[in-house]
Amino acid sequence: MSEQNTNLSEFIPDVPEHAGFHKVVLELGVANHPGVMSHICGLFARRAFNVEGILCMPVGGGDTSRIWLLIFEDERLEKMIKQVEKLEDVLYVTKHDGEHPVFGRLDEFFQ
Partner 1 sequence: MMQMTGADLIVKLLERQGITTIAGVPGGAALPMYDALSKSEQIHHVLCRHEQGAGFIAQGMARVSGRPEVCLASSGPGATNLVTAIADAKLDSIPMIALTGQVPLSMIGTDAFQEVDTYGLTIPITKHNFLVRSAKDLLSVVPSAFRIAMSDRPGPVLIDVPKDVQNQMVSFEEYPDVVVPDAAPVFDIAAIEEAAKMIEAAERPVLYLGGGVIHSGAAHMAVTLAEQASLPTTMTLMALGAMPMDHPLSLGMLGMHGARYTNYVLEEADLLICVGARFDDRAIGKTAEFCPNAKIIHIDIDRSELHKVKNANVAIAGDVGQVLSELLPRIKPQLRKRWLSHVESLKSRFPLAMPGVDDPRSPYGLIHAVANCLDDSAIITSDVGQHQMWVAQAYPFRRSRQWLNSGGLGTMGFGFPAAIGAALAAPDRTVVCFSGDGSLKMNIQEMATAAQEDVNVKIVLFNNQSLGLVHQQQSMFYGKRIMASRYERPTDFLKIAEGFGMRAVDLDPAANPRAVLAEALQTRGPCLIHATIDPNEFVYPMVPPGAANSEMIG
Note the residues at the interface with partner 1 (CB under 8 A): 1-2, 5-6, 8-13, 34-35, 38-39, 42, 46, 78-79, 82-83, 85-88
Strand partners, 23: 72
CA distance 34 to 32: 7
Closest CB to partner 1 among residues 61, 101: 61
- Please tell me what DSSP assigns to residue 110: G
Strand partners, 31: 64
- In angstroms, give the least distance from the CB of 64 to partner 1: 16
Closest CB to partner 1 among residues 1, 57: 1
